[in-house]
């Protein structure tokens, strides 16, 4: 129960941080030097590049970033505040302009008391990615508990998934994959685990809900909530030799997150040569590490995938309005259009909410120009009905 609550808290936090309400140019902001009581702005006729004014502008940028983090993190804000240096804040200000005004708000005049007003756009999505990465690292094994599985269908190289523990300790290729993937997860303060020899009906990576359920049962003995499955197969391209796929599963949400694959430039006859195996595996592990970090930073790691079917979308204008509105919802990590047919639109969405909760949130959201009414929801699909507002 304790782990379930922790996971739910993480999911809710990621939901709050996964706002898609930004356009490509970020979230607008306006802030004035009056919010910095200790600031001492330069005289009104001083050049913009003066050191006093430049410092004030930097502090205002810092305040914009601090204000956002304070609102997004609540009680955890103090853990992040020391990291928000002037240089850090600069990286999340997409653009800005400076208005110099009198204290009363009018444009600055000679002899008046000047102050600065900064307006521009904040890279909120960038900040959200920063927070998700740090939150996952901070919680470590309380939220992320992966287990390693390995299999092969390469002729002459037989690895049974249920025998992964032995493979990861005795086979040069198994040891190399296990140790290098372990380094990826240690960056998130968790260990890549192993299940002792135990029967697993699957001989290759899980493809559907029932197979993922079998995988979940296998991993449950160690309390694992995710799987990293390395599968080896023969390349179809001439001269390619062997290929490795790394499948990553979120067992809590019952889905495969992504697959990273690449040819291994090593022959079966050289699989006992640790130097050659290391050289062959390294590029794939590097790409995998980047992809996994991206799944954490984007918020897809702890989200559930749903088919969102919206009926009564009878005009292309209505579809465009719906599409734009879904992209702005804080409780959707992602909303990808899948198909449009007569009076119906379908999206693939990611959310940390349950299907029923998602339907309720969509129904209670005050959309501009339309409303959505729930007609059904389960653990894989949410059905809504679109109604235009006059």
Summarised one tens digit per residue, pLDDT across range 132-179 is 888 888 888 888 999 999 999 998 888 999 899 999 999 999 999 999
**Length of the chain in terms of residues written:** 390
Contact 44, 112 (CB under 8 A): yes
197 lies in the same domain as 52 = no
> In which region does residue 105 sit, left (phi positive, over 0), alpha (psi from -120 to 50) or beta (all else)?
left
- Judged against a pLDDT cut of 60, whether residue 256 lies above it is answered with yes
The confidence score (pLDDT) of residue 37 equals 53
158 lies in the same domain as 221 = yes
The confidence score (pLDDT) of residue 107 equals 55
d(CA 16, CA 106): 37
Q: Which of 82-86, 88-92, 132-136, 323-327 comes out lowest in average pLDDT?
A: 132-136
**Of 89, 108, 137, at which residue does a domain stop?**
137
127 lies in the same domain as 149 = no
**Of 108, 137, 166, at which residue does a domain stop?**
137
Give percent above pLDDT 90 in the chain.
Answer: 53
Contact 313, 344 (CB under 8 A): yes
Distances from the Cα of 252 to the Cαs of 7, 38, 103, 293, in angstroms?
9, 49, 55, 19
101 lies in the same domain as 153 = no
The confidence score (pLDDT) of residue 206 equals 94
110 lies in the same domain as 12 = yes
Contact 140, 188 (CB under 8 A): yes
254 lies in the same domain as 157 = yes
Give percent above pLDDT 70 in the chain.
Answer: 85
359 lies in the same domain as 382 = yes
- Judged against a pLDDT cut of 50, whether residue 6 lies above it is answered with no
What is the residue range of 350's domain? 304-388
165 lies in the same domain as 210 = yes
- Judged against a pLDDT cut of 80, whether residue 4 lies above it is answered with no
- Number of domains the chain contains: 3
pTM over 0.85, yes/no: no
Indicate the Cα dihedral angle 130, 136, 139, 140, nearest 10°: -130
158 lies in the same domain as 287 = yes
**Of 244, 275, 297, at which residue does a domain stop?**
297
Q: Which of 31-35, 168-172, 197-201, 358-362 comes out lowest in average pLDDT?
A: 197-201
- Judged against a pLDDT cut of 80, whether residue 102 lies above it is answered with no
Contact 143, 6 (CB under 8 A): yes
The confidence score (pLDDT) of residue 47 equals 44
Summarised one tens digit per residue, pLDDT across range 209-240 is 899 999 999 998 889 999 999 999 998 776 67
126 lies in the same domain as 153 = no
249 lies in the same domain as 320 = no
The confidence score (pLDDT) of residue 25 equals 52
100 lies in the same domain as 22 = yes
The confidence score (pLDDT) of residue 111 equals 47
The confidence score (pLDDT) of residue 354 equals 83
């Amino acid at each position: 129960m304790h782990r379930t609550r922790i996971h739910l808290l993480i999911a809710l936090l990621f939901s709050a941080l996964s706002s898609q309400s930004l356009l490509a140019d970020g979230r607008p902001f306006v802030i004035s030097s009056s919010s910095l009581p200790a600031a001492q702005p330069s005289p009104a006729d001083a050049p913009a590049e003066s050191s006093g004014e430049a410092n004030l502008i930097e502090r205002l940028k810092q305040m914009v970033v601090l204000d956002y983090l304070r609102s997004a993190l609540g009680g955890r804000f103090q853990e992040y505040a020391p990291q928000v240096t002037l240089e850090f804040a600069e990286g999340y200000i997409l653009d800005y302009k400076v208005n110099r005004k009198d204290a009363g708000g009018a444009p600055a005049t000679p002899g008046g008391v000047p102050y600065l007003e900064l307006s521009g756009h904040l890279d909120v999505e960038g900040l959200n990615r920063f927070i998700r990465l740090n939150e996952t690292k901070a919680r470590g094994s309380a939220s992320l508990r992966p287990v390693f599985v390995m299999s092969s269908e390469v002729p002459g190289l037989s690895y049974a998934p249920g025998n992964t523990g032995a493979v990861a300790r005795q086979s040069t290729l198994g040891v190399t994959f296990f140790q290098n993937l372990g380094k990826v997860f240690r960056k998130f303060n968790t260990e890549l685990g192993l299940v002792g020899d135990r029967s697993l009906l699957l001989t290759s990576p899980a493809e559907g809900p029932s197979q993922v359920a079998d995988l979940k049962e296998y991993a449950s003995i160690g309390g694992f909530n995710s799987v990293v499955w390395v599968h080896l197969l023969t390349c179809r391209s001439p001269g390619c030799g062997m290929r490795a796929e790394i499948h990553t599963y979120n067992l809590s949400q019952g889905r495969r997150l992504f697959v990273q694959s690449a040819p291994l430039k090593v022959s079966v006859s050289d699989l006992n040569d640790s130097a050659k195996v290391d050289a062959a595996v390294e590029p794939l592990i590097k790409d995998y590490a980047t992809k996994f970090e991206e799944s954490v930073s984007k918020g897809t790691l702890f989200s559930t995938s749903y088919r969102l079917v919206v009926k009564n979308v009878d005009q292309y204008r209505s579809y465009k309005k719906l599409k734009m509105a879904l992209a702005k919802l804080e409780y959707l990590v992602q909303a990808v259009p899948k198909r449009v047919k007569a009076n119906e639109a379908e999206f693939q969405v990611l959310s940390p909410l349950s299907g029923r909760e998602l339907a309720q949130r969509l129904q209670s959201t005050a959309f501009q120009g339309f409303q959505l009414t729930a007609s059904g929801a389960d653990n894989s699909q949410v059905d809504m009905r679109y109604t235009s507002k006059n």
